[in-house]
Amino acid sequence: MQPDVITQYAHEHIPITKHMGITVLAVDDEQISLLAPYAPNINHRETIFGGSISSLGILAGWALLWAKLQVEETPNRLVIQASSTEFIKPATDAIVACCQCDRAHWLTFYTTLKRHGKARITLNAETRCGDIVVATHTGQYVAMRT
């Protein structure tokens, strides 16, 4: 799946992603990276707003799973069930969140979804501002077959 397809879907179906200027930089079978520019995500301290950082971490996991499920042509409803963001340093420029899902975890998740119609998976994302890790995110996602 192409990054611009995921970006367009997110902008159309999750409107805040368009307001935040989020774009998918790269995606493959096991990982995704998303960019959030500085200007639309600035706070009163002239750093990236914590809510934007948290949202980007959530979206990184969600978008990776959404793309993988689209490739599998599996109709589903995908949601975030639990979310935790650790803020490490302030971000003073654009941020990039990266999320990975290795093959073994994916196969367990996907097999459970096919077998039981519902599956959970926990994914981690790391958000960087340049070379500096500014936050980590852990999210539990749930897919339900439709």
* Helix, strand, coil in percent for the chain, rounding step 5: 40, 40, 25
Rounded to the nearest 10 degrees, what angle do helices 50-71 and 3-13 cross at?
120
Tokens at 61, concatenated: 């996991």
pLDDT-based confidence at 124, cuts 50/70/90? very high
Q: Output the pLDDT for position 74.
A: 86
Fold of 3-145: Thiol Ester Dehydrase; Chain A (3.10.129)
Phi/psi region, residue 36 (left: phi>0; alpha: psi -120 to 50; beta: rest), is beta
Pairing of strands 95-100, 31-36: antiparallel
Is residue 115's pLDDT more than 90?
Answer: yes
Instruction: Determine contact, residues 12/6, Cβ cutoff 8 Å.
Output: no
Q: What is the pLDDT of residues 45-93, one digit of tens each?
A: 999 999 999 999 999 999 999 999 999 998 899 999 999 999 999 999 9
Q: What is the pLDDT of residues 36-46, one digit of tens each?
A: 999 999 999 99
pTM: 0.95
